[in-house]
Amino acid sequence: MPRTIDTDVVVIGGGAAGAHAALKVHAEGLKVLLIVKGFLGRSGCSIFAGNLQLVNTKVSAEEEEKWLTIRTKHMGGYLLEQDYVKRANRFTESEFYPEMERRGLYIRRNAEGKFIKSEGRGTNVWAPLQGYSGTFVMELLRKEILNKRIPLLQETMVTSLLLDEGKVVGVTLLDILRGEFIAVRAKAVIVATGPSNYLATRSTGTREQCANGFAMAYRAGAQMQDIEIQWWHCSDIAWPKAWTRLHIYPNPMPATKETVRLYNSEGEMFFEQGMYPLAMQPYFLQLKHLYPHVKRGKARWNGGYFAGYTHIDPSIMEQYSYQTQFLKALGLDLSKDLIECGISWHMTLGGIRTNTETMETSLPGLYAAGGVGSHGVGTITFVSYDGTLAAGGACARARAMQPPRLPEEQIAREEQRVMSPLKVRSGDGLLPAQVKKRIREIMWEKMGYVKSEAKMEEALGQLAEVREKLVPRIGLDSLSRTWNYDWVDALDVEDMLDICELTIHSAKVRQESRGAFFREDFPYIDNKNWLRHTVMSRDGNALRIETVPVELKYIRPESEREDFLSADY
Amino acid sequence: MTSGNTVSAKIFRYDPAADKAPRYETLEVPLEKEMRVLDVLDYAVENAGVAVGYRWFCGVKRCGMCGVSVNGKPVLACWEKATPSMVIDPLPNMPVVRDLVVDRSALEQATLEMEPCLKRKEPYESFPEPLTHRDFEDAYRLMTCIECYVCTAACPVLSDANHREFAGPASLVQLAKVALHPKDAGERVAAALKGDIYACISCYECSNVCPVGINVLEDAIEKLKRRCAAQSESNPGAKHARIFTDLIRKFGRIHPPTLMRQSKGLMQSVSKMSMALAMYRKGKVQVRPQTVQGIEEVRKLFKAVEKDQ
């Protein structure tokens, strides 16, 4: 048996969901162990939360409905749980903002003390710059966790969930710095590994985000839901490659009614948020407008179209945007130059199937908080709510139970799997990172924004080829166990292949288009047949796919069937 | 030889657990438009199959984890533009874990010991707090510090074995960031002195290298030093700073023998007598302090600065 750690609750993931979960379990007086593959508050996607929505749904029913519509329709294609959206909005206004301000968050104000807001509907704010808010939120959460000496393992990869009689009773992990395999016994596990994964050549997922959370849950038998629905960002910078995650926000901007405009290669303007005043987060709409220009050769998915602030007073970007320094470093003059853009694989709307009242998954003892769950969030305040909610459930469970038994046989098998990549590459060997690159290329080329049955079949074929021809060639440069990231990459390859394939199988089932999900062979929104979730689970080595209806409690689409490209959601 | 279209990167390789000594590995990488140092490292692994170890997460100056040294200058790999000829080393002032990956834990511990969490005198009331941008002006200048420790890597004091107690610029920025929050009432002077803030020689290296453009020395360290000088009676550094300032206020320049005597005491001053004599012989010091011409201007400056505080 490897070394074992005992705790009450394990939290996996160092973003806002994981941080809130760890703080809550600690506040409840139980033992928590926070495990982060990268670094708390530094890796993951919470650091990218660029805008904060200053919701105030308590003031009126209209305000509540406005936010319900923005989230459910414009960000969720009607697949979200509507009561959850209402509760998360309430958490945002009554807990998130006061707690973060108490910790020292500074939402940018003017000299008179008024918030700098987006004009018009006036609900976006920034702490203290557009593009930096999440970084600041995470800094404060990180410091509080460190200051409270909450047990924390960083640069530590959770490799599997441990099961005893169908219940989750702990995790196994790999300490990347020391190369040690460890087993953790826990009464409950909260997985909070985020909505974004680095699964396509152009992605917003950070380096470490390789679908590990999805993979461990799926392998343990948890149900997955709607994982075919992938948000793409429409306006991320095209080059340099390192800056792929530099987002040009389409949302309302600070202190102006104007929003960023998109232009095709001939300089023709084709999108600005003002075209859809009700869609405050017009991510899906941007892509629909880009599509015909790509078709006509006036843009490419990875360049050849542009974002511009030329119609906006340059002092706005200068004063209120973190992104401006990057654009200036490229020598761009925002009063006259445009910024070349590309699309990037951003968030999975679905994920591990969650009960939105408790964040429980289909596996007893496993909770999913934040973007890794199936409830389609993508907002730092919502994932903070999830973390708090999941911790409540996990604590109640932990209090009611005795320390579980660890499954020694499963631990031994997993140790063998984790150690198996430790072999030196041969002459024609490949580093695992090279295989990761190939997987991302396949997903970029065949599983991009525009999907079709034929392209998805090709993607499955190419991924199978990776398994057959490239994976056996994987080897490491050295067998040293000290910070051997190639070893981590090798474990990532398995998770990426499994989850990419699962995503494609799920996408083949959904024979319609909706929100972020576009099938060129089914270019309509089918509200009659497809207001449904796809639900997938492992059945031995086979895949079981079912669909279940979406509950539409307060708002619902008007038509049974709509043309996808012209619909406003 | 490098042409204009390639990058020649000489990359530090070392696994202390397995290698006898560090070595360099050189490779040619095609130069792309506005390529960053991080792109060069990605290319090394993903295209060239060179298994160099380096840390990064975000690529866009949020995570603060991709610090390396390029041609001797500490930088963030995601921010620094690649040039045709680069020697890429791990950040100095930190132990090497593997290749370009360093162990920052001691420095992060130093930051944590500063207790960089807001300590309110009055309990928090409700959102939003009635504060203006003016109230945050000083803290705002430090708000985008991402704790990348590039400034600490550049600090010459930290590479001097005599200053092991010095917390380093990055930790002091974190302290200043919270100390300058308008609602903070923590014991910040004690923390700054514990971090040996007066070991700082005000050389501006930290400000020069900061990847997010923070003037680390003036907007963080000097602000803390001023607070220390005003509030600490006994700390020798604070006392020295006060005497230094008073001499300038009085004479328009320092007078080393007086500064020495008042700051360090008679005994230590006597021990430096031979140096003082040598300086006197070369006309570097006078026996008595001399007032500079135009002292009125100096006093006006003092008034203006002190009114500002």
Write out pLDDT tens, residues A420-443: 999 999 989 999 999 999 999 999
Residue B238 maps to a domain: no
3-state helix, strand, coil in chain B (%, to 5): 40, 10, 45
Query: Domain end: B102, B128, B146, which one?
Result: B102
Domain A419-563 is in which class?
mainly alpha
Residue B245 maps to a domain: no
Token pair 């429980």: residue: A360
Predicted pLDDT of residue B309: 60
Cβ separation of A485 and B53 shorter than 8 Å?
Answer: yes
Query: Strand pairing of A450-451 and A518-519?
Result: parallel
Same domain, B264 and B174: no
> Distance (Å) from the C-alpha of residue A457 to the closest C-alpha of chain B?
26
CB count, 10 Å around CB of A222?
25
Cβ separation of B46 and A430 shorter than 8 Å?
Answer: no
The count of C-alpha atoms lying within 13 angstroms of the C-alpha of A129, restricted to the half-sphere facing its C-beta, is: 22
Q: Which of residues 519-558 of A touch B (CB under 8 A)?
A: none
Residue B21 maps to a domain: yes
Nearest chain B residue to A114 by CA: give it. Answer: B132
Residue B303 maps to a domain: yes
Cβ separation of A241 and B35 shorter than 8 Å?
Answer: yes
- Tell me the one-letter amino acid at A433: A
**Alpha-carbon torsion, ordered A199, A205, A207, A209, to 10 deg:** -70
Do A499 and A214 form a contact (C-beta atoms < 8 A)?
yes
Q: Minimal CA–CA distance to A245: which of A345, A136, A349?
A: A345
Distances from the Cα of A134 to the Cαs of A50, A192, B180, in angstroms? 6, 16, 21
What's phi and psi for A11, nearest 5 deg?
Answer: -120, 125
Cβ separation of A241 and B78 shorter than 8 Å?
Answer: no
Question: Rounded CA gap, A519 and A512, in Å?
Answer: 6
CATH number at residue B26: 3.10.20.30
Q: Which of residues 481-520 of A touch B (CB under 8 A)?
A: 481-486
Residues of A in contact with B147 (CB under 8 A): 139
Is A328 touching B (CB cutoff 8 A)? Answer: no
Cβ separation of A482 and B98 shorter than 8 Å?
Answer: yes
Do A367 and A359 form a contact (C-beta atoms < 8 A)?
yes
Nearest-by-Cβ selection for A244 from B59, B181, B212: B59
Residue B247 maps to a domain: no
Read off the pLDDT of residues A372-413 as tens digits, 9 standing for 90 and up. 999 987 799 999 999 999 999 999 999 999 999 999 999 999
Nearest-by-Cβ selection for B132 from A109, A241, A430: A109
Is the model more confident about A544 or about A119?
A544
Do A381 and A96 form a contact (C-beta atoms < 8 A)?
yes
Give the pair of three-digit tokens for residue A287: 């892509």
pLDDT at A531 over 50: yes
Question: Rounded CA gap, A383 and A509, in Å?
Answer: 28
Same domain, B139 and B157: yes
Q: Minimal CA–CA distance to B151: which of B75, B252, B65?
A: B75
Predicted pLDDT of residue B272: 82
pLDDT at A321 over 60: yes
Domain span holding position B303: 256-308
Nearest-by-Cβ selection for A430 from B49, B57, B143: B49
Domain ranges of chain A: 3-229+349-409, 233-345, 419-563
Same domain, B227 and B110: yes
Residues of B in contact with A434 (CB under 8 A): 45-47, 49
Read off the pLDDT of residues A15-57 as tens digits, 9 standing for 90 and up. 999 999 999 999 999 999 999 999 999 999 999 999 999 998 9
pLDDT at A194 over 80: yes
- Which residues on adjacent β-strands are paired with residue B11? B25, B88
Of chain A, the percentage scoring pLDDT greater than 90 comes to 94
Same domain, B122 and B93: no
Q: What does chain B come to in residues?
A: 309
Residues of B in contact with A482 (CB under 8 A): 15-18, 97-98
> Distance (Å) from the C-alpha of residue A130 to the closest C-alpha of chain B?
12
Query: Domain end: B85, B102, B119, which one?
Result: B102
Q: What is the mean pLDDT of chain A?
A: 96
Question: Which of B47, B63, B65, B103 to mutate to test binding with chain A, by most A CBs within 10 Å of its CB?
Answer: B63
Cβ separation of A102 and B124 shorter than 8 Å?
Answer: yes
Token pair 């089932």: residue: A509
Predicted pLDDT of residue B2: 44
Residue B194 maps to a domain: yes
Question: Which of B143, B174, B184 to mutate to test binding with chain A, by most A CBs within 10 Å of its CB?
Answer: B143
Read off the pLDDT of residues A452-493 as tens digits, 9 standing for 90 and up. 999 999 999 999 999 999 999 999 999 999 999 999 999 999
Same domain, B84 and B110: no
Nearest chain B residue to A204 by CA: give it. Answer: B58
Cβ separation of A98 and B127 shorter than 8 Å?
Answer: yes
Question: Rounded CA gap, A435 and B265, in Å?
Answer: 68
Cβ separation of B51 and A478 shorter than 8 Å?
Answer: yes
Name the strand (E) or helix (H) holding A502.
helix A485-509
Question: Which of B42, B45, B58 to mutate to test binding with chain A, by most A CBs within 10 Å of its CB?
Answer: B58
Nearest chain B residue to A485 by CA: give it. Answer: B53
Burial of B32 (0-12, 13-18, 19+ CB in 10 A): middle
Same domain, B193 and B284: no
State in Å, rounded, how far the first CA of chain B is from the last one. Answer: 55
Nearest chain A residue to B135 by CA: give it. Answer: A111
Cβ within 8 Å of residue B226, ≥6 positions away:
B309
Do B41 and B54 form a contact (C-beta atoms < 8 A)?
yes
Nearest-by-Cβ selection for A245 from B58, B126, B147: B58
Q: Which of residues 295-314 of A touch B (CB under 8 A)?
A: none
Question: Rounded CA gap, A27 and A69, in Å?
Answer: 34
Mean pLDDT of A505-518: 97
Nearest chain B residue to A116 by CA: give it. Answer: B133
Max CA-CA distance within chain A?
Answer: 68
> Distance (Å) from the C-alpha of residue B271 to the closest C-alpha of chain A?
45
Question: Rounded CA gap, A47 and A380, in Å?
Answer: 9
Name the strand (E) or helix (H) holding A180.
strand A180-185
What's phi and psi for A313, nearest 5 deg?
Answer: -50, 120
- A233-345 has which fold? Flavocytochrome C3; Chain A, domain 1 (3.90.700)
Cβ within 8 Å of residue B53, ≥6 positions away:
A483, A484, A485, B15, B97, B98, B99, B100, B101
Burial letters A330-353, b for 16+ CB under 10 A, else e: bebebeeebbbbbbbbbbbbbbbb
Low-confidence ranges of chain B (pLDDT < 50): 1-3
Name the strand (E) or helix (H) holding B191.
helix B188-194
> Distance (Å) from the C-alpha of residue A105 to the closest C-alpha of chain B?
10
Tell me which DSSP letter residue A550 carries. P
Residue B236 maps to a domain: no
> Distance (Å) from the C-alpha of residue A92 to the closest C-alpha of chain B?
12
Predicted pLDDT of residue B1: 43
Same domain, B50 and B93: yes
Question: Which of A45, A96, A101 to mutate to test binding with chain B, by most B CBs within 10 Å of its CB?
Answer: A101
Burial letters B145-184, b for 16+ CB under 10 A, else e: bbbbbbbbbbbebbeeeebeebbbbbbbbbbbbbbbbebb
Sheet order of strands, A542-549 included: A351-352, A224-225, A532-539, A542-549
Predicted pLDDT of residue B284: 85
Burial of A497 (0-12, 13-18, 19+ CB in 10 A): buried
> Distance (Å) from the C-alpha of residue A340 to the closest C-alpha of chain B?
12
Question: Rounded CA gap, B153 and B168, in Å?
Answer: 9
Name the strand (E) or helix (H) holding B263.
helix B256-264
Q: Which of A58-67, A146-155, A209-218, B151-160 has the weakest average pLDDT?
A: A58-67
Is A245 touching B (CB cutoff 8 A)? Answer: yes
Same domain, B64 and B178: no
Q: Minimal CA–CA distance to B45: which of A209, A489, A465?
A: A489
Q: Minimal CA–CA distance to A321: which of A42, A50, A48, A100?
A: A50
CATH number at residue B123: 1.10.1060.10
Same domain, B272 and B208: no
Read off the pLDDT of residues B275-290 as tens digits, 9 standing for 90 and up. 888 988 988 888 888 8
Query: Strand pairing of B73-76 and B67-70?
Result: antiparallel
- A3-229+349-409 has which fold? FAD/NAD(P)-binding domain (3.50.50)
CB count, 10 Å around CB of A210?
28
Residues of B in contact with A241 (CB under 8 A): 32, 35-36, 39, 42
**Alpha-carbon torsion, ordered A565, A349, A230, A508, to 10 deg:** -90
Residue B44 maps to a domain: yes
Nearest-by-Cβ selection for A42 from B63, B101, B136: B63
Query: How many domains, chain B?
Result: 3
- Which residues on adjacent β-strands are paired with residue A351? A225
Cβ within 8 Å of residue B89, ≥6 positions away:
B12, B68, B69, B70, B72, B100
